[in-house]
Structure formats: structure tokens, C-alpha cells
Copies of this chain bind each other. A is one copy, B any other.
């Protein structure tokens, strides 16, 4: 095997803002056109809703005593055990709107008692054994991008809680060019992974909206799906093998191209969100970097026609690498944000990646399919605009939040048969919950990932924050989640469970399914120190 361990180039992504998504230098002002649109559609005037200054944020005092600090330091080194408030604040949760509202208000923000920065699998495993012995809860932390409360430092009734930041696990451990697999450490962020793979002409092809910050381990732990999943697959489809540290030792899963040797333990680790172990290494399938990318936007007279077109593509043997379809509202808003004239109907963006000749042939075949099902070719421009802004929506959310506008997303997936009724039910539930005396509401949606058997729906909701923004959003989220599970949808297609979707998980897994997962957890984490309060409802 041509496995070459390789030194890692520096990972230079900036630290994320403590109260907002991403790079603080990328924060933007509210565009006047958008201000007008909001006033008109939401019947509410933007108002300043700034975060409190960082020094006003109230964090609980660290409960880490000197003995335990010395034990941690003995494993990872003194400088890798942090209890200062800036570090604890930046590990006090993820990036959901409820997370951000709490931190921006600055009142009683939960915080880990310490943040640990292990260097490798062995240190992670020793830390977990120690935490289990001492009864200290552990929250694994990759890119910090959770939007479902997956990073909230809950102590689960234990004496303390530490967050384990995996950024130092950032190496490409090995690469097998013949078999097109790479072993990456869990803390590698996507741009860093792509840079290391690009040196060998390879790519992972995983491009979720969290791309700039999210990590390889986080993708595996949350069953992530990237924007080009039609061509590259979901992250779980890329996972050849995994290594996790648990309080009981090392658990490895998969590793062969295929096997019939009993149940697939990858199915247990993928999506376990740090409750069964800390994923430390992932062997992923990689691909040659595409020689050519062809982009095309298509329009459809209405949403149902567009959904049928995407279904036809997903069920055919010749498919695009990326396919997304906006509903009428999102098509209108996208045109307005892009400074383009609004057109009636719905717009889809398609992308094709591959070798020169193969991409052209594929695009030709798809073009014929799209025309046959009622599509009209628009051209590449809307896709170019989408590509430029594909990672920026979270920044816009922060800008809106500072202007007193809640803008949040939620998502699901269902069979093609259930998709449109589910779509209508969720739009109705969100509208019912949020269109009131305080504000109007805008609900837009796109089909973001397609499969032969169904697709995902990704909703964006904007409404005035009102007097109780957290309560307002909480009511809407519950109404939407109830509508999702009542109409054949999964509670989450790619955002994962965390704390926010936990109340719906017994229904999702069935009571016996939940019990099996609890039994697996008890075998790996007998003291229950791994990410308590996440994913699995208590019995």
C-alpha cells in the first residue's frame, strides 16, 4: 500500500466570533434593499438588537479543581488545559439561533469548566478514561458549527463538564492513491482537508454550508450531507472506516470496501454525536479533482413541475453532481438578493463535475431530460451567484439578528410521494406560529439533496424578533417539527439531533430502537460521561 504519512500544512482558519457565525471580519451591514424588502414582507421595521459587550457576558465559575487540572495537564500538557473565560465562552455552544440569542443577551451563558486540546487518539482515549473515572462530562468539539444544540456544555448531573476541542488532531495520516482512500484525523477542517488532498490531485467533494469551519470528525458524528451530494454522496457514503476513543477503549468500524461480516458498526458510530465515543480518525473515499465544472440554472412554471423534474433526474442513470430547486418564494427572494429581475415560477441550479468529455455528455443528456419534463434553460449566471454566496447565509442571519429579525433554517427529508404534502404542512405550521401582531413571516424552501427514493427540504424562515425572540422561535420550531413527523418526514436530514431534536427521537427510533442505543452506550460509556443530554432521550 502506498500509505505516506504527511506533515500537515498550517490550518489558518480564523477563530469564530463568540456571538455569531464565522470570521468576525466578514460581518456585514444590512443592505438598504433588504431593509425595504423586510419592512414590506414582514410588516416590521428593523431595529438595532446588538450583542452585549464580551466582558458583560456572565459565565459560571469553572469548577475544575487543581488536582483534576494537573491530571488533565499530565495527559495533554499544561497549555492545553484552558479555563480562561474567552476560551470557555467560545466553547459554550454552537451556532443555532437559540445559542446566539443566549450569548448575545449575555445572561447566564452555560460554559464548560475547562476546554481540553488533546493532540492525538491516544490522548483522547486517556482523557476519556480519566473523565469516566472522575465522573466528568465530555463534550466533543470540532468546528463548533452545530445548529441543533449539539455543543451545549451540559453536565448531566455530573460534577463537572469539559469540552474537548479536537483542532490539534489535524493530520492527513495516510493516503492510498490506488484505492482512492485517505485517513484523516477528526479535527481537520474541510478547506484544510481539501488543500492536503489537492496536492495529490484529489478531492473529498463534501461541501455543506458549514464547509469553512466544520471538521471531518464532525461530519461523521452528525451524518452530514454536502451540497454536491447527488454526485459525491452523503458524508456517511464516503466513510470507509472509523476509529473512535471511548471510556472503555478503542472502537474501530469498517475498513474494507465492503463486507458481510456481521452488522456494520459504522452505522452505530456515524450519527452518534459524541454520545458513544469521540471519533478520532476517519478513512474516507476520495476522488480525482474534477477537470471541468458545468453550471446551469433551469426554471419551471411551478413548484410541482420542478419537483417532478428533480425526481426524474434522481431516478435516472445520468444525473448532475448537484441539484437544488427553490420554491416560488425562495426563487423570488434569490432574484431580489442577486439584483436580478424576478421571474415567475421556480428555479433550479444544477452542477456537473468530472472529466472534460464525460461532463459535457452528461450535461447534454440531462438537458434533454429537463426539457422533456417542462424545464426552461436559464443559463449559468444564477448558479455563479449561488456559488459565490454558498457559505454566506449564516453571516446574513447574524446581520439580520442584529437588526431585530430572526432568520433561521430547518430541514427534513421524505419520500417523493410525501414531499409536497409535507412541504405544505411545514409552511402552514410556520406561518400559523409566526404570522401575528408582532410581525409577518417569510417562509421559503428548497429541495437541497435528492435520492432515487426521495429528497430533502430545507426551509428558511424570517420574522420579526418581537419581545421574546427565543420563545417566539421555540414555538415555531416545535410546530414545524410536529408537522414534519406527522407528515412522513425525518426530524433531521443533515443538521443532526443535539438537544433541539431530542424530544422527537423516541418517535424517530421507536422505543425499542432507543433502548438498543442506550444499551450500546452503556457498554461503551458506563458512567454516562459522553455528551449527556444530547441525541438520546432518557428512558
Contact = CB atoms under 8 A, between A and B. Distances in A.
Interface string A500-534: 01001100111111011111101110000000000
Interface string A157-178: 0000000000000000000101
Contacts of A260: 222-225, 271, 490, 492-497
Given A453-B180, A453-B240, A517 B262 contact: yes
A456 interface: yes
B256 A263 contact: no
A516 B265 contact: yes
Interface in A448-483: 449, 451-456
A257 interface: yes
Contacts of A181: 415, 453
A435 B250 CA distance: 41
Interface in A1-52: 1-2
Interface string A221-254: 0111100000000101000100000101111110
A452 B180 contact: yes
Interface in A344-380: 354-355, 358, 361-362, 365
Contact of A253 (B273, B287, B513, B520): B513
A517 B263 contact: yes
Contacts of A358: 316-318, 365
Contacts of A536: 262
A340 B417 CA distance: 51
Contacts of A508: 259, 261-262
B501 A256 contact: no
Nearest to A359: B317
A535 B259 CA distance: 14
Nearest to A517: B263
Given A415-B176, A417-B176, A267 B263 contact: yes
Nearest to A2: B417
Which 8 pairs show the lowest CB-CB distances between chains A and B? A267-B267, A257-B454, A519-B523, A223-B260, A179-B415, A259-B490, A256-B490, A264-B267
Interface of A: 1-2, 176, 178-181, 222-225, 234, 236, 240, 246, 248-253, 256-273, 276, 285, 287, 311, 315-318, 354-355, 358, 361-362, 365, 413-418, 449, 451-456, 488-497, 501, 504-505, 508-513, 515-520, 522-524, 535-536
